[in-house]
Structure 1
Amino acid sequence: MAHETLKKIETEYHTDDVLAYKANYEAFKGGLTKHEVAQYYNKWAETGEYDAHLNENRYCGPESCARSLATYYPDNERAHARILDVAAGTGRLGAELHNLGFRQIEALDPSTGMLAKAKDRNVYTHFYNDFIGVDHPVPVDDGTFDGLAVSGGFGEGHIPCTALQEMIRVVRTGGMICIAMREEYLIYVSEYKGSLEQLMTELESAGKWKLEAKDTIPNYAFGLPGVIFQFRVL
C-alpha cells in the first residue's frame, strides 16, 4: 500500500511535492533496521532539506499534536508542565508547544542530526539521543513527565508497539499522552496492523490509561488523513 500511495502522489502532485514525498517515503518504506532509519534521518537533516520537504503545507502533524495536548493543560499550568517530545526530529512540535506556553520541554530522538537541528530552536531543556521501547527505556524515574507527545514517530521501522508501555511508565498519573500519525499506517504497517490499536485497548482494559479522544485530521500529511490519539494515564 505504501508503494500504491507513492504512485498516486507521483500522478497527482506537483514536482516539488513529489520530491518531498519521495524523501519521506525513503524513511517509511520498510526493509530498514531502526539504526538504518536513524542514519537516513541524520543525512536528511544534514542536507537542510527536512523542514523544507515537510513544511506546514505538506505536514501539519506537529502543530496539530501540540494543540491537542495543550487543550488538557490550563494556560497557567503550561509553563511548569514537564513534557517529553518523542521522535522530536528537528523540533517543530517542541516549537509549537513553546508557542502555546510550555517551557519545560524535553526531546527524545535516535538521530543525532535531527537533535542538532532541534537544539537550534532553543525551546528544549534536555535531550535524549535514543530510541524508545521496552529495550530502550528513557533514563528517568516512573511518572517523571506531566505529558508526552509524538508526531510522525509511528511508521514502518519506527516506534514499536511495545513503546506504548514505556510512554505510560514515564508519565505521571493524570498526565496526557498524544500520538499523531498517518491513519493509513494503522492498516498497512506490518508492526501495527491488527496490533497497535489492539494493544491500546488492552492497556486501557488493564487500567493503564484511558482514551479521552481520537481525532481525525483530514489533511495530515501530503493530503492524506491522520489520527491523533489522546490518552490520560491512570
Structure 2
Amino acid sequence: MAEPGRIAFCDFEKREEMTPDQVAEVFTKVAGTYDETWKARHYKDHVYVAEAVADFYPGDRASVQVLDVGAGTGMLAEELWGKGFRLIDGLDPSHGMKVEASKKGVYTNYYTEFMDGKRLDCFATDAYDCLVVAAAFNTGFIPCAALPEMTRLVKPDGLICFGIPDSRFTEVKDYVDRLAPLMELMEEQGVWELVDTKYCHDFYDNANPGNIFRYVVKASDIDAAKFIDRLGPVG
C-alpha cells in the first residue's frame, strides 16, 4: 500500500484536508526522490521561469539578489545558477527539502518558512531584487493572500516571475475567481506592472499548458489587508 504522504504528494485534493504543517511533512517524506519523480514527468516550469528571469537581466547576474519561494530541492535555483545568478536564497516550509537543497550548493540562505500571507519578519522590506516561484502555485502551497507579501520583499522596479498552469485557476479552490482578480487588482492599484506573459504548452507530463508571468514591482510596502479583504470567499 502506498504511504499516505506519497498519496497526498500525487493527489492534490488530499492536501485540501491537511494543515500547512502536514503538507510540509508530506514533502519532507518525498524529498529524497523529488527530483527523480519530476524529471521522469518531464517537468519544465523551473526551466521556463529561469529563462524568463535571465532574459530580464541580460547583464551582470551575479549581483542580483534572488528569493526562490517554494524552493523545494533547488531545481529552479540550479537553473538560475547555470545562467550566472549567484545570490540566491530559498524559502520553503519543508525541512526535508532544505536538506536535499543544501547538497547542491546553490543557496546562500534557506529559510524554512511558509509564504502564506503573514508578514515574514525575518525579511526586511525591499530585501531582494527578484522573487521567483516555480511549481508552488497549487493546493496547500502559496495562497492568494501571499501575493502582497511577495511584493513587500522586492525592491521597486524589481522583478517577480512565476509560472502557473492554466488548470490551477479553475481547480485550486483558493484560486477560483480569486487569484486572477487579485493579480489584476494589484496592477490597477499600482502595486506591480505586468511586463508580459509567455504561454507554454508543456509544464509537465508533456502537457499541462500555462503561462509564465513577469511583473515589475512598483510599490513594495503596501497595506496587504486592503487587497486580501477584497477577495471573495474560498470555494
TM score, norm. by length of structure 1: 0.85
Query: What is the deviation of 1:49?
Result: 1.5
Structure 2 unmatched ranges of 5 or more: 1-5, 219-235
Q: Give the 4+ runs in structure 1 shifted more than 6 A.
A: none
Offset of residue 135 of structure 1: 1.9
For residues 225 and 24 of structure 1, do their structure 2 counterparts lie closer, same or farther at Cα, with a shift above 3 Å needed? farther
Equivalent residue of 2:53, what SS?
helix
Matched with 2:33 is 49
Secondary structure, aligned partner of 1:75: coil
Q: Is 1:207 equivalent to 2:207 in the alignment? A: no
- Structure-2 residue corresponding to 1:143: 126
For 2:223, the equivalent position in structure 1 comes to none
| Pairwise CA RMSD | 1.7
Aligned equivalent of 2:232:
none
Residue 63 to residue 84, structure 1, CA distance change in 2 (3 Å): same
TM-aligned CA deviation for residue 127 of structure 1: 1.0
Paired residues of 1:75 and 1:101 also in contact (CA < 8 A):
no
The aligned counterpart of 2:164 is: 181
Name the amino acid aligned to 1:88: A
User: Taking every aligned residue pair, what percent have the same amino acid on both sides?
Assistant: 35
User: What is the aligned partner in structure 2 of residue 4 from structure 1?
Assistant: none
Matched, 1:227 2:220: no
TM-score normalised per structure 2: 0.85
Q: Are residues 24 and 60 of structure 1, via their aligned partners in 2, closer, same or farther at CA, if it must alter by over 3 Å?
A: farther
Match for residue 224 of structure 2?
none
Cα deviation for residue 31 of structure 1 reads 2.1
- Taking the TM superposition and a 5 Å limit, the aligned residue runs for 1:141-180 are 141-180=124-163
Aligned equivalent of 2:25, options 12, 31, 39: 39
CA distance in 2, matches of 1:195, 1:81: 31
Give SS of 2:151's match. helix
- Partner-residue secondary structure (3-state), 1:85: strand
Q: Distance in 2 between matches of 1:150 and 1:49?
A: 20
Query: Are the counterparts in 1 of residues 117 and 143 from structure 2 also a CA contact under 8 Å?
Result: no
**Residue 102 of structure 1 pairs with residue 88 of structure 2:** no
